[in-house]
Structure 1
Amino acid sequence: MIAKFKSIINCNRPVLVDFYADWCGPCKQMPAILKQVKAELKENVKIIKVDVDRNPNIASKYQIRSIPTLMLFKEGELKWSGMGVRPAHEVKSIVERFL
């Protein structure tokens, strides 16, 4: 799974990763926020979700200690990371810095 994840984040456009778990209350707010970000940035960003319970190796490799955690990658390199629920306009402005 880590190999597949690495191939996804090696994209030349920004890749926003939402680390979450099904049991996490605040995580349930993220899909609507990320949908809004995607609607505004369209093909300029790729957004993926990673369930930390189903992908413990990825969560461990990226030292996910709190969820939700957002990470922004470009060409395989971590550009930004933030914990907790963030408003759509904040997430969008962060992604736009790396377009």
Structure 2
Amino acid sequence: MSQQHATLLQFFANWCYPCKVLTPIVNAVESTMSDQLRVSRIDIDQEEDLAGRFHIMAVPTLVLMQDSQEIWRHTGVMSEHELKTALGTALSGKL
């Protein structure tokens, strides 16, 4: 049985200091949750249309997608523990 992975969209900008803080946290979570989750990193300066479609008003913003639906969103920096907990809750459908 194959379970479809969820996708975490990481919207960032190269000039954004909080984005630089969040990236290693997202990388760590991606490696520990790789059986459930894939990460797509989206530079808002390179992908303005995509950022607009997701109504990104500030970076860093994380958007969790499953079955083409947004199931969770967070703007700003969070700890690795907070991110794992939030993603686990969202993926279990307990939101």
Residue 71 in 1 paired to residue 63 in 2?
A: yes
| Residue of structure 1 equivalent to 2:28 | 36
Which one-letter code corresponds to 2:57 in the other structure?
A: R
Listed one character per residue, the Cα deviations across residues 61-86 of structure 1 (whole Å, up to 9, x for unaligned) are 11100000000000110001110011
Matched residues, number: 89
- SS of the aligned residue for 2:35 comes to helix
Q: Which runs of 5+ in 2 are unaligned?
A: none
Aligned to 2:37: 45
Question: Given the two structures, how large is their TM-score scaled by the length of structure 2?
Answer: 0.86
Deviation per residue, 1:39-70 (Å, 9 max, x gap): 22122110111000000001111110000000
Contact 1:14/1:95, CA 8 A, preserved across alignment: no
Q: Name which of 46, 54, 75 aligns with 1:62.
A: 54
Show structure 1 runs of 5+ residues with no match.
1-10
Shift >2 Å, 4+ stretches: none
What is the percent sequence identity of the aligned residues?
27
1:70 maps to amino acid? L
Aligned AA for 1:21? A
* TM-score (norm: length of structure 1): 0.83
Q: Greater share of helix residues, 1 or 2?
A: 1
Q: Secondary structure at the match of 1:37?
A: helix
Tell me which moved more, 43-52 or 89-98: 89-98
